[in-house]
Amino acid sequence: MKIVVIGGTGLIGSKLVKKLGEHGHEAVAASPNTGVNTLTGEGLAEVLTGAKVVVDVSNSPSFERAAVLKFFETSTGNLLAAEAEAGVGHHVAVSIVGTERMPENGYFAAKIAQEQLIEKSGIPFSLVHSTQFFEFARGIADDATVDGKVHMAPVLFQPIAGDDVAQAVGRTAVGSPLNGKIEIAGPEQSLMDEFFRQALIAWGDPREVVTDPHARYFGSELTERSLVPLNDDDAALGTIRYHDWLGRTSTGK
């Protein structure tokens, strides 16, 4: 089966293309550096010829509120129109757990707009809402640093490995369209401040982690369950634990 992965050369996309190929599918990585640009429409008609499924794991180059909204609205609109023309039967998009709970966050608001376009398109779809990736943990800590200290709220946190994300997205892509969403998360749930306290120790990072109930997450104040699945029993969980993942990545494996 031909599956086109938009953003297929990025962190999740490259893993997904590899996994799909290992299972015998014709997985095509589509991105500007392979001649496919969803913002301009360049290469879309050609790459979607014969495609049964499209998976969108692309991301905006800017997180500024207006820019990210324009990216997702333009990119998704062009992509859905091209899919309708090509007869694609399943659109899969990766989004974020908690988008609907933090609409004041510009990035999350843009993802909501993207999802609404997909839901109204008439193309059968599946939305995969993921918690934060292990690969982004250092960036989260850096964004939360004030005067050399990492301010974290004592809220629930359940990050997931990129490999587990790709596994879940791949299963969704080759399955029947959900016409709805699933939530995925890592196998371990902890308090965010404690996760980062232990993570910084593991990184050999001397910064102090400060427990701050009003600490903001990329501009948003958090409630206890802002960043974890709505229902623990319904979420699909990965298998890779953070410290196991960190041990492999730090040794180059």
Mean pLDDT by 10 residues, the chain (253 residues): 97 97 97 96 97 97 92 98 98 95 90 97 98 97 97 98 98 98 97 98 97 93 94 93 90 43
pLDDT at 62: 87
pTM of the model: 0.95
What is residue 250's predicted lDDT score, i.e. its pLDDT?
Answer: 64
Domains, the chain, ordered by start:
2-250 (3.40.50.720)
Answer positive or negative: Cα dihedral of 29, 183, 83, 78.
negative
CB atoms < 10 A from the CB of 194, how many? 14
pLDDT computed for residue 212 by the predictor? 97
What is the pLDDT at residue 231? 87
Q: What are phi and psi of 234, to 5 degrees?
A: -90, -15
Angstrom distance (rounded) from CA 3 to CA 52: 6
Percent helix / strand / coil, the chain, rounded to 5? 40, 20, 35
Which pLDDT score, from 0 to 100, does residue 232 have? 85
